[in-house]
Structure 1
Amino acid sequence: MGTNGSTMLKPLRQGLPPAGPSRVSSSASCSLTARFEAVRGARHFTKSTLHQWELSDRFDDVSLVVSELVTNALRHGLPDEPLDDTQHPPVRLHLLRWPGRLVCAVRDPSPETPGTPFDDDVPFPDPRGTAESGRGLFLVDSFSDSWGWHPLAGAMHGKVVWALFQLS
């Protein structure tokens, strides 16, 4: 993922049996272009990966979370100036499976904290349900078992936002 896996995944281990990076039973990742059409590609990639892992029954929840994480990365994680995404795609989706859990992680080049409310007068998420945006991380929180984010270290810049799904 471009960062020290033990640092990035440390919160994923809290309250769960050990699942260090060396115990990942399956992983897959794909690069996403800096266009909103990439969200559909991310869903397709997720569907085919979950099918290969015999987790198709989890597609609805996982796909919703992947869509929200990728949309947020494209909307809030990219710089204002155009990127040359042929050399280094700016957004990357990772799916990692351990026994008993699945992690969806999306990397983007922004160091900004995800989920910062855009309006200090309205709590996040908007309890009235009237905001036209800003519910993405609320959905991620609602459909996954936990989520978080980590800044990237070393030569990589930006962050990884992840969501954890416990598997039966």
Structure 2
Amino acid sequence: MGTDGSTMLEPLRQGLPPLDPAAVSSATSCALSSRLEAVREARQFARRTLCQWDVGERSDDICLVVSELVTNALRHALPSPATHRCEQDPPVRLHLMRWTTRLVCAVRDPSYDSPVAGDSEDFSAESGRGLFLVDSFADGWGWHPLAGTLSGKVVWALFQLPSAPKYTK
């Protein structure tokens, strides 16, 4: 499970034509606070957006993955409150991008560290299964560090969407 530096973006390429950022048919994002209540806010934002985009049967999977990615960012990627400066951009941001048959949800956070997977494979544990769930429900996932004026990383999950039904007479 998971990815490392050389394969961070590989799931975006597996068996699919390359994603053209200019061909995004819909995109939106929201800033999230550094409180755990932001997980619920992210899930509600995702659900409203997916409903508007008429994503259909993948909505529940996508909302679950959004919850897990945001939770992981809030628990493991934020600086300590003493080092967090209020004038910075919100520390976590959720992005949703939709193409005709694909959707990517991405969570940006201020850490350059690899996403944290649980130390245990104990499936009865109360926590530590987030990235296992992401890996199970998404069609691919990965992460990459940001460059330029943005600091931190983006952890993303890819979902293939059913093709729109074709009109027949």
Q: Given the two structures, how large is their TM-score scaled by the length of structure 2?
A: 0.83
Partner of residue 134, structure 1: 128
**Structure 2: tracts of 5 or more residues without a match:** 1-7, 163-169
- Check conservation: 2:72, 2:116, Cα contact below 8 A: no
Q: 1:50 to 1:29 in 2, by over 3 A?
A: same
Which amino acid letter does the alignment assign opposite residue 127 of structure 2? Answer: S
Q: Matched residue of 1:57: which SS?
A: helix
- The separation in 2 between residues aligned to 1:101 and 1:15, in whole angstroms, is 13
Which amino acid letter does the alignment assign opposite residue 55 of structure 1? Answer: V
Partner of residue 91, structure 2: 90
- The separation in 2 between residues aligned to 1:142 and 1:62, in whole angstroms, is 11
The percent of aligned pairs where both chains have the same amino acid is 65
Partner of residue 51, structure 2: 51
Partner of residue 67, structure 2: 67
Q: 1:45 to 1:56 in 2, by over 3 A?
A: farther
1:157, distance to aligned residue in structure 2 (A): 1.2
1:152 lines up with 2:153 in the alignment: no
Partner of residue 100, structure 1: 101
1:11, distance to aligned residue in structure 2 (A): 5.2
- The separation in 2 between residues aligned to 1:86 and 1:34, in whole angstroms, is 14
- The separation in 2 between residues aligned to 1:84 and 1:32, in whole angstroms, is 15
Residue by residue over 1:42-75, the C-alpha shift from the partner in whole angstroms, topping out at 9 and shown as x without a partner, is: 0111011101111143221111000000000000
Residue by residue over 1:118-147, the C-alpha shift from the partner in whole angstroms, topping out at 9 and shown as x without a partner, is: 4xxx5xxx0x42433210000000001010
1:165 lines up with 2:159 in the alignment: yes
Q: Matched residue of 1:154: which SS?
A: coil
**Structure 1: tracts of 5 or more residues without a match:** 1-7
Alpha carbon RMSD of aligned pairs, Å?
1.9
| 38-47 or 75-84: bigger deviation | 75-84
Q: 1:79 to 1:87 in 2, by over 3 A?
A: closer
Q: Given the two structures, how large is their TM-score scaled by the length of structure 1?
A: 0.84
